[in-house]
Amino acid sequence: MFSNIGMPEIILILLVVLLVFGAKRLPEMGSAMGKGIREFKKSIRDVQESVDAASDNPPPTRQLDAAASGDGEPKKLSQ
């Protein structure tokens, strides 16, 4: 997709960005992008860890009691 972009095109893009945002604003934007990417990676890592922890410790299954009375009462779930 970007294989046709050469050095002159990259320089032109950087000059346009510099003119639009200014020299003072560029470091702030870079810092904000870095923080955003860092936070995104952290949230993905946290989600992955919680998924891994959940797969390691599945919730216990509940089973029907075999010793339920035969007088028409429903069977109770054991915990």
Express each pLDDT in 9-45 by its tens digit: 999 999 998 999 888 898 998 999 999 999 999 999 9
What is the reported pTM? Answer: 0.51
Q: What is the pLDDT of residue 37?
A: 97
| pLDDT > 90: percent of the chain | 37
Task: Report the distance separating Cα 30 and Cα 17, nearest Å.
Answer: 12
Contact partners, residue 77, CB within 8 Å, separation at least 6: 62, 63, 64, 65
Element (H, E) at 42: helix 25-56
